[in-house]
Structure formats: structure tokens, C-alpha cells
Structure 1
Amino acid sequence: MRAVLCGYYGKGNGGDEALLASLLQMLPDHVTPIVLSGNPQQTRDRYHVEACDRMGLLSVIQSLRKSDAFIWGGGSLMQDVTSAISPLYYGGLMILAQQLGLKTIAWAQGIGPLKRDTTLKLARRAFSNCTAVSVRDQSSAALLSEWGIPWTLAPDPVWALAVSPVPGLWDLPAPRVAVTLRSHPQLTATRLNNLTRALIDFQKATQTCILLVPFQQSQDLAIAEAIASQLPGANKILNLQDPKALKGVFRGVEMVIGMRLHSLIMAAAEGCRCFALSYDPKVSRLMTELDLSGWDVTQIPEDHRVICTTFLEHYANGNSLTPDQIQSLVDRALMHQDLLQQVLVY
């Protein structure tokens, strides 16, 4: 059986690459994947799979015609806040695959926000005709229920992603704290400056090694470099391309201060204390589900001393998930694997 995997792959986003790695890990052995990628050669080299250019219309159609299944491979694909074009692309391919008679799976989806009537109708049509749907949050499940579409609800599959060791990580001074910030209109220059000043004071007080971890270099690296240049103590920018190694970072970290959704999931899965800075409803939902400490980015205190004091309090007294909680989330995340096994049969 051949399956086309469609997501935001090959675009340098660590979270989406982690979803792809999780999907490949969970695919039944008899399924041969064809990955639609923004960088097909990189995808071939990294995962040892067949890949084609996600924007090459002819090659995408050829891939669909020689396949048995089409899978939306995780994440917030059907949303129109980042881009109005994105849901047209993903929704259009899903509907085309359905018209070609493929088994179609909307896998580990986080649906929305959908602000436009056209994209809302497109999403409803695409999901309605899927062979199976799994979602990663309650609000997505509620929307599907409103549409009368059956669903499986399970935690994000990255909870169950295997981990690879990070060369040199254990040579860095301990204890270690990871920071995963991204550029965003809400993270204004003033807020970033206040966070940086707070991190400087935090490091002076704790003598921690600060690990700056860009999940998407185009959006995160400049911020990481700006912070690193001002830190008074040990620090390291970790540019990691392998999502299993990215998750492995958090095995050697005491706490993460993170905006990136999958940085928080990876950190929580590895037993770190998590302090979240939410720029998106998906991060806020995770904060609620896991009872994570943090702020909405727009609510970050204006006084860097207040920020620092809050970080210190969480570093000293914050709780990580218990091993039983983590195992429960991993076990339930494997429901996404069960769905693949049920649908992708000969």
C-alpha cells in the first residue's frame, strides 16, 4: 500500500518535522510513504523515504494517482489566521484525493481558527468525506461534533515520538534551562527586551546554562542570537534538524520557557518543568490541558524584575508531569497509530 503524506514538511519547522517523524514511526510496516515536501531532497536524506515537491502540481497528482491513501499528517493545517491560502492548498488536495477514490485520513489535526466563511465551508466538506479523522484537542472535536463528523481524540502524536541523543549536550554545564521563542507580532521589541533582561537576571541568580533552541530558523534564530549575545553566563544555541534529537534536548534540561507548542510538548514528555508563553489558541489549550504555568504573550509583565521573579519561583518550586501522567499521555497518543492500523489495511 502507498500513502501520500501531506503537511507543512520540508519548510524548516521543527514542530512539523516532529509530526512527520511521528507519523512515519506510526505507519504500518506494509505502507510505503510518499511525502509532499518543500525540500524533497532533504526529506529523502533525513527520513529515507520517497518525496516530491509539494508545489509541483503534476508530480503531486502523479503521486496521488499511484497511491491508495492520502493523509493530512498532523498539526493546524486547516486554519486561516496565518494564511488564507494554506487551507485552500490542504483542503483542495484532500478533496482531490477523495475524488480519486483514495482512503483519506485527517490525522492528529488541530482545527482552526477559521475566520472566513469560505475556508470554514471548505474544511467542513473536506473533513466530512474523510475515511477517518483524529484530532488532538477538545475544541477540534467539538467542532467536528457540531458538523456531525465522527472523530478520535488523542494527545498530540509527538508525545510518543522516539528520542535520539544530542551529541555534546552532556558536556554543557548543568543545570540547564531551554528557551524557545519565535518571532510574532505580539512579541514586540519591548516585550522581547523585557524577557531578555529577565533572563539575564535569572541566569545570574541560578548560574544555569541557557540553551536557546530555534524550532524554525527563519523565525527563531535571530531572536536566539540576540538573547545569547547579552547573556552573562554559559549559553548555547542548538540548531538541530533531527526532530528526535530536538526532543532529546529536553532529557538534559531542568526547565523550558517556551512559545513553541512542540517545545512544550517535548519538554513535558521528558519530565521538564514548563513555563509557557502563548501566542496562539493551540498553546493556550495545551496550558489548560496540562495545567501549565505561563502567560499569554500580550500579558507578559512590563517590569523585567517581575518576570525574573516568576521564572525563579517556577524554577525552584514548579512541578513537572509525573511519570504516570507522561505514560498516560504517551499511551493515549498511540491511539493515532491505532487509527492508521485500522484504516490502512489491504
Structure 2
Amino acid sequence: MRAVLCGYYGMGNGGDEALLATLLQMLPAHVEPVVLSGNPAQTERDYQVQACDRNSFSAIVNAFRQSDAFIWGGGSLIQDATSALSPVYYAGLMELAQRMGLKTIAWGQGIGPLHRRTTQWLAQRTFSGCTAISVRDRASAQLVNQWKLPFTLAPDPVWALQGEPMPGLWDMPAPRVAVVLRPHPLLTPERLDRVIQALVDFQTATQTYLLLIPFHLHQDLDIAKSIHGRLPNASHIVQLRSPYQLKGVFQGVEMAIAMRLHGLIMAASAECRCFAISYDPKVTQLMQDFDIPGWLLEDIPEDAIAMGKTWIDHYANGDPLSKNQIQAVQDRAYAHQELLETALLAASSG
């Protein structure tokens, strides 16, 4: 059977590419994927799958006509915090797939924030038409439960992604610390200056080598360059397109200071000590679920020295998740795979 996979794919975001890689890893062997992508040629090269333009209505309709199932492939697709149009796009595709008779699956979803009543109505309507639903966090589960829909709750699928070694990693100086920052309106120039000064203080005190990882190659690179400019001999900008290698990077670092959700997940799953800077409820919830220390972005210390001392203390005394904790989370994440197998087997037999 054929299934159309839909997410924020082919857009240069490492977290969303990691979700696609995990979905392909978990997809049953009898299912042939067709990926909706912002860069179909690149997606086909990277994953050896068929892809079509996510912005071409005719290409999407043609893919639907030749397919049996449609899968929302993880992440915060239905939310109106960054754009009012994004949920309309994804919900529109889901409704079109349902109208065309495809079995539809919402997989690994993080629903919200939903600030607008119209978005809340649209989300409930769209999820109600799904054949199967899995969500990645308690807040999303609470929403689906309020809608009285059956669902599976499991940790973010990327916990279960199989990583690959990053070429050249072990040739870099050690010990290493990963830094995963992203732009945000609350990360003002003044706050960013403090963060960079704190990183300089931290590196000087610990003599670590900083791996600056722009998860979104277009959005995050300028921040990485700003940090590297202050620490040209003690840092390296790691630009990777492969989500497998992106996860593999964290196998070779002692600690991660990260804003991006999947940066924290990849680091935590590799037994790194993690320190979070939360810009979004999904990051805050991860911090709460796994006792990851950190700050809300708007609450970071006013003093760079105090910030640096906090990181130095965590580097010296902080604890990563244990092997048993990580294994337990990864085992639970495979519930997303079980949901796929059950729903798609029913679709193929039906």
C-alpha cells in the first residue's frame, strides 16, 4: 500500500527532518511512502523515497489518488502561535484526504498552542475524522481527551531515532559541549549578548570545546556565527542535514545547552547532561517530565556571570538520564510504531 507523509519536511529544520526519519524508520515494510516536501529532490536524495511538492495542489491530489493512507508525521503542525495559516494548510490536507477516502493518521502530534477559537474548532473537527491518533505530550492528550477521541500517548518519536556517527567528530578537541540556540522575539539583542558572554565565561572556566549546532540551517546560523566569533579557537559550527548524524553528534558531547525541543531530546537520549532555555510550552513540558534544569527565555538571569556559574555548576555536578530511564522512554516511544502497524494493517485489509 502507499501512504502520503505530511509534515514540515524539506524546509531545513533538523527537528522536523528527525521526525520524518523516525516515521520512515517506524513505517511498516509493506507501506510505500510518498513525502510532501518543500524540497522534493533533496528529500528523495536524502531518504531514497518518492517525494512531491508540498505547495503543488495538483501534485498532492495526484499523490492522494494513488495512495491508501495519509499521515500527519509528527510535531506541532496544528498550532497558531507562529502562523494562523499553518493549521489551515495541514487541516485542509487532512480533510481533503478524508474526503478522498484515505485512511488518515495523526502521528506523534504536539497539538497547540491554540489561541484562536476558529483554530480550536478546526483542530477538533480534523482530529475527529482521523482513523488513529497518537500524541507526544500530556497537554495534547488532555485536548484530545476533551474531544472524546481515542488516542495513544507516548514520548516524542525522536527518542527512538537511530543515530549515525558524525564524520570527524572524534578528531575535535574534548571534552565537548553542544549549544543549540534559535532566534526568538524574546531573545533580544541584549539577552543574546548576555548568553554569549556567559558561554565565553563557561568555556573559559571549563576549557570545553563548544559545538554550535544550528538545527534550522537558515534561522539558527547567525547566532552560531556570533558565538563562534567570540570563541574562534574553542568552538566549531556543526552544519548537518542528516538527522541521523545530527542525533549522532550528541553521542560525543558531555553536556548540551539547548532551546530547541529535539536538540534536548537527542541530547537526553545520548546520556548528556542537559540545560534548557524554554521559548515554548513543549520545551517547558519536556523539562518538567524529565527534571531537566533550565530557564524560561523571558526569565534568564540579568547577570551573565550568574548565568555562566549556573552552567559551570551543572557541568560539574549535573546528572544525565540513566541508561534505564532512557531505555524506558525509548520503549514507550515505540507505541507510535505500534499504532502505525495496527492502523495501516486495518487500512490494507479494508
Tell me which interval the TM-score lies in, with the shorter structure as reference length.
Answer: over 0.9
Question: For 2:210 and 2:116, how far apart are their aligned partners in 1?
Answer: 41
What residue is the counterpart of 1:91 in the other structure?
91
Residue identity in the other structure for 2:197: R
Check whether the contact 1:36–1:52 (CA below 8 A) recurs between aligned residues.
Answer: yes
Q: After superposition, give the CA deviation of every residue in 1:236-286 in whole Å (9 maximum; x if it has no partner).
A: 000000000000000000000000000000000000000000000000010
**The residue matched to 1:115 in structure 2 has which SS?**
coil
Matches within 5 A, 1:208-227: 208-227=208-227
How far the C-alpha of 1:232 sits from its partner, in A, is 6.0
What residue is the counterpart of 2:168 in the other structure?
168
Residue identity in the other structure for 2:83: S
How far the C-alpha of 1:65 sits from its partner, in A, is 1.1
Matches within 5 A, 1:246-261: 246-261=246-261
Check whether the contact 1:213–1:237 (CA below 8 A) recurs between aligned residues.
Answer: yes
Residue identity in the other structure for 1:5: L
Question: For 2:119 and 2:152, how far apart are their aligned partners in 1?
Answer: 22
**The residue matched to 2:256 in structure 1 has which SS?**
strand
How far the C-alpha of 1:117 sits from its partner, in A, is 1.2
RMSD: 0.6
For structure 2, list consecutive stretches of 5 or more residues without a partner in the other structure.
none
Residue identity in the other structure for 2:86: S
Aligned residues: 346
What residue is the counterpart of 1:108 in the other structure?
108
How far the C-alpha of 1:136 sits from its partner, in A, is 0.2
Q: Sequence identity, in percent?
A: 62
**The residue matched to 1:164 in structure 2 has which SS?**
coil
How far the C-alpha of 1:218 sits from its partner, in A, is 1.5
Question: For 2:72 and 2:217, how far apart are their aligned partners in 1?
Answer: 24
Question: For 1:76 and 1:263, how far apart are their aligned partners in 2?
Answer: 15
**The residue matched to 1:77 in structure 2 has which SS?**
coil
Question: For 1:298 and 1:242, how far apart are their aligned partners in 2?
Answer: 32
For structure 1, list consecutive stretches of 5 or more residues without a partner in the other structure.
none
What residue is the counterpart of 1:129 in the other structure?
129
**The residue matched to 1:41 in structure 2 has which SS?**
helix
**The residue matched to 2:72 in structure 1 has which SS?**
strand
What residue is the counterpart of 1:335 in the other structure?
335
Question: For 2:179 and 2:233, how far apart are their aligned partners in 1?
Answer: 15
What residue is the counterpart of 1:21 in the other structure?
21
Residue identity in the other structure for 2:222: A
Check whether the contact 1:186–1:298 (CA below 8 A) recurs between aligned residues.
Answer: yes
Q: After superposition, give the CA deviation of every residue in 1:17-68 in whole Å (9 maximum; x if it has no partner).
A: 0000000000000000000000000000000000000000000011011100
What residue is the counterpart of 2:59 in the other structure?
59
Question: For 1:149 and 1:65, how far apart are their aligned partners in 2?
Answer: 27
What residue is the counterpart of 1:322 in the other structure?
322
Displacement over 4 Å in runs of 4+: none
How far the C-alpha of 1:233 sits from its partner, in A, is 4.2
Question: For 2:87 and 2:283, how far apart are their aligned partners in 1?
Answer: 20
Check whether the contact 1:276–1:294 (CA below 8 A) recurs between aligned residues.
Answer: yes
What residue is the counterpart of 1:297 in the other structure?
297
Question: For 1:232 and 1:270, how far apart are their aligned partners in 2?
Answer: 27
Instruction: With the length of structure 1 as denominator, give the TM-score of the two structures.
Output: 0.99
How far the C-alpha of 1:85 sits from its partner, in A, is 0.5
